[in-house]
Amino acid sequence: MIPRETMRRTLLVVLAMLCVTAPTVTRSQSGTPQRPAVDITNADIRATIKTAPTDAVTDQQIRVVDIGTYNVAVGVLHRAAKAKQTAISHAQVTEVYHIIDGAGTFVTGGEMLEPTPSPSDGNTVKVLVGPSTGGTSIRGGQSRRVGPGDVIVIPPGVAHWFSAVESDMNYLVVRIDAQHVLPAGYVNPAITRSTAR
């Protein structure tokens, strides 16, 4: 279970990241109507994590919000230490990872081995990250050890891969979608179930 203080800090990091990516001119100053703020609570994150198998690699979108100029998606990923780790590169979406718990070696850049386009009708493309290419691993690239509290920004087109996972990891991901390829308005079914009670 993720400590409450860790989740609070995670949400603060997400808010800070959104502030950094926001346009410098507010919608009210530009004459465009403001959109409402969208909350993603600790309970939303926990409900989403709870639905994931603990012995696999899972990527779950929590919400996709259309903020006008671009979409912002927030998701949570789980990487089991014993699961096979694969590489991926997203054509149009920037990702910002914030490691909640666990540790591993993360590689970015370099050459993806055995690259294969993700199926256009699959969950990866339609809900999670838009057009992408997966691979078995990465040759070369920049390796670094990551752990709780670390933040990594991954621009579109940059291959990334966990070459090693020392202990099961959970990390929050903020996805900046300038091309509106993600489904605006998406809400994870785990959240709708938990709010319906």
Task: Locate the domains of the chain by residue range.
Answer: 4-23+38-188
Which stretch of 13-17, 104-108, 139-143 has the lowest confidence by average pLDDT?
A: 13-17
pLDDT at 195 over 80: no
Kindly report the CATH class assigned to 4-23+38-188: mainly beta
Residue 152 token pair: 């990594």
pLDDT at 2 over 80: no
pLDDT at 178 over 50: yes
**Distance of alpha carbon 126 from alpha carbon 134, whole angstroms:** 15
pLDDT band for position 9 (cuts 50, 70, 90): low
Q: What is the DSSP letter of 44?
A: H
DSSP helix/strand/coil, 18: helix
> Quick one: how far is CA 171 from the chain centroid?
8
pLDDT band for position 84 (cuts 50, 70, 90): very high
pLDDT at 32 over 70: no
What is the per-residue pLDDT for 190? 86
Residue type, 166: E
Residue 99 token pair: 């490691």
Query: Mean pLDDT, the chain, as a whole number?
Result: 87
Find all residues with CB under 8 Å of 78, minimum gap 6, and list them.
49, 52, 53, 54, 56, 57, 58, 168, 169, 170
What is the per-residue pLDDT for 4? 60
What is the per-residue pLDDT for 26? 44
pLDDT at 94 over 90: yes
Share of the chain above pLDDT 90, in %: 69
> What separation in angstroms does the CA of 57 have from each of 19, 50, 87, 111, 183?
29, 14, 12, 22, 22
What is the per-residue pLDDT for 13? 57
